[in-house]
Each structure stands twice: as structure tokens, then as C-alpha cells.
């Protein structure tokens, strides 16, 4: 998980305007998945995890 997270964040930093993109579009831009809509199913779970651990 540490390597994957670091690699993803490194790729994300190279995407111009990622702050203004929908989450799924930013993820697809970095990951270039054959199934770009698959990210959306995890969006709420990811947001919940970030909210939980960000405030811990």
C-alpha cells in the first residue's frame, strides 16, 4: 500500500488541474484503467476512510 500510494500521488502531482477534476477523472488520468468508471464505486468508502483517519 505504501508504494502504490506514493506512486499514485507522484503521478497525480503531474496532472495539471487535478484539484478541479472530479475524483474519478483524476484517478483515471493517473491510472489509465480499461474500466474508468470502476473508480466511482469506491469514492464514498475512500472519502469515509480519509475523514476518519485525517481527524485521528
- Residue 4 domain boundaries: 1-54
C-beta atoms surrounding 22 within 10 Å: 11
Q: Running DSSP on this structure, what letter comes out for residue 36?
A: G
Asked if residue 35 has pLDDT above 90, the reply is yes
- pLDDT category at 55 given cuts 50, 70, 90 is confident
Compute the distance between CA of residue 34 and CA of residue 4 in angstroms, rounded to an integer. 18
Question: What's the pTM?
Answer: 0.73
Q: Running DSSP on this structure, what letter comes out for residue 19?
A: G
Number of separate domains in the chain = 1
Amino acid at each position: 500500500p505504501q508504494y502504490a500510494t506514493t506512486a499514485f500521488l507522484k503521478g497525480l502531482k503531474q496532472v495539471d488541474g487535478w484539484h478541479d477534476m472530479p475524483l474519478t477523472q483524476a484517478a483515471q488520468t493517473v491510472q489509465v484503467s480499461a474500466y474508468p468508471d470502476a473508480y466511482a464505486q469506491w469514492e464514498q468508502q475512500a472519502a469515509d476512510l480519509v475523514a476518519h483517519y485525517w481527524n485521528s
